[in-house]
Structure formats: structure tokens, C-alpha cells
Amino acid sequence: MKESEKKHGSELRGRGSEDKEDKELDLIRPENVFESLNCAIEGVIYAVKHQRHIRYFFAIAAAALLLSLTLNLPAIEFVLFSIAIVILLFAELVNTAIETTIDIVCGKRYHALARVAKDVSAGAVLISSIGVFIMSYVIFSKYLIDPISGGLRTGKAFAGHVAVVALLIVLIAVVASKAYFGKGSPLHGGMPSGHSAVAFSLWASVVLLTLNPIVTLLTFIMALMVSHSRLIGGVHTKFEVFLGALLGIGITSLIFYIFSVISK
């Protein structure tokens, strides 16, 4: 009799726990379309709050879309560019969902297949990023780069000279910045990263001189690898690397623009 009572009690407890889980699921499960929409929006907000890459992508997407409106892109180009941006953001959101799910299942334990899943989802984001870069170059180059290239073609014999001058000015700016902040040496550490500034200065020169998307992509990858090596070696912080890249691109583009105006 006691055994049957114990068995019956365990069954009741089991049913009680199942009822509790069902109630919790009912609380989580959206009841209508508006709650489903709210959950989707909360998911996007969570990703933006906790994933800095998504914040970067959203900021870049907003800036690019505003630029497209400023340049008054044709409808077909605007639609294609918008689709590319949406695919990139979609890939990043899916990547976040996969990483979160794996973290729930594996916790702090290492698992080879978990790493594969994370790497593959990150690879999807990378491929989407490359697609957006190519799309952006094809669409915006005729509005932004072609006017500069027109001036460069008028002084074609001096185009290489402009790249050298721009590189030298970038180096001077890096040394001056490190002297001002009083941190690091010309070739090691400090604000900003000299390697990143030089690498992206050369990349900007290649972009403006060749106007070739394949060469542009390859040199961009090389500039990224140079900058990433400074992070891996612990020589610079991410902000120092970013500031160096911004300095190299900004000064080089400005020198080429000034030369294009003078040559007209």
C-alpha cells in the first residue's frame, strides 16, 4: 500500500512539474501577431545591445542608405543595395542566434563541433560582407571615385607621385600624433597605429589609381591582415588600429582630391 502511494505521489509530482513547464511555455509563447512582432523587435534590440559587430553594421547601413539618398541613386541600384544590406544584417542576426544557442547547450565546455558551427555561421557573415563591399563599390564608385579619377587622368604622369606624397604625409601625421600623445614609439605601440595608417593609405592609393574592384578587394584584405597582426601581437588596441586606418584613408583621399582639383 505504501509503495503504491509513493508511486502515485511521484506521478502527481511529475504531472505538477509538467503543468509548471507548460505554464512557463505559455508565458513565453506569443498569443497573437502583435506579440510575435514585439518578440522579433526585442530580438533585434538584444542583438544590437550585446553584439558590437551588429552595431557597426547598423551604423554603416544607415550611413550608406543616407548617402544613397543624397546621391539620388536610380531605383534599381537603391533596391539592390538595400537587399545586400538586409542579407548582411540577416546573416549577423542568425550568427548571433546560433552562438547563443551553442552557449546555452555547451556552456563553458569546449566542443569541436560547437566551434565548427560558430565558425561556419561567422563565415556566412564574412561572405555577406564581401558581397556588400562589392555591391557598394560597383554602385558608388561612379559617383564618388570617378570624379577624382577624372582629375587624376588629366595628370596621369604625376599620379604615382601623389601616392608617394600622401604616404609621406601620413607618416608625418603618425609621428606627430605619437609625439603629442606621448605614448609608444614610431614603430611600436602608441596612438595611432602606424602600420594600419600606412597599410590603409596604400590601399586608398590603389583604389584611386586602379579603380579595379578585384585589386581593391585584394589590397583591402592585405591592409586588414596588417592591422589584425597588430592586434594579435598586443601592440595596439582596436581603437588605435581603427584610428590609424581612418587617418591613412582620410589623409590619402584628401591629398588625391586636392590634386584632382588643382589639375582641372
Chain centroid offset of residue 147 CA? 27
Contact partners, residue 172, CB within 8 Å, separation at least 6: none
Catalytic residue chosen out of the listed positions 21, 77, 92, 240: 92
Q: Which residue has the cell 510575435?
A: 36
Confirm whether 31 is a catalytic residue.
no
Q: What are phi and psi of 2, to 5 degrees?
A: -65, -40
Q: Which residue has the cell 579619377?
A: 149
Q: What is the DSSP letter of 234?
A: T
Q: What is the DSSP letter of 158?
A: G
Q: Note whether 234 and 257 are within 8 A (CB).
A: no
First to last CA, the chain: 104
Distance CA 204, CA 20 (A): 61
Q: What tens digit of pLDDT does each residue of 58-112 get? A: 887 788 778 777 777 788 888 888 888 888 888 888 888 888 888 888 877 777 8
Residue type, 2: K
More confident residue, 180 or 160: 180
Mean pLDDT of the chain: 75
Q: What tens digit of pLDDT does each residue of 120-133 get? A: 888 888 888 888 88
The pLDDT > 90 percentage for the chain reads 0
Total residue count of the chain as it appears in this document: 264
* Beta bridge mates, 188: 185
Supply 169's cell numbers: 604625409
Q: What are phi and psi of 218, to 5 degrees?
A: -65, -45
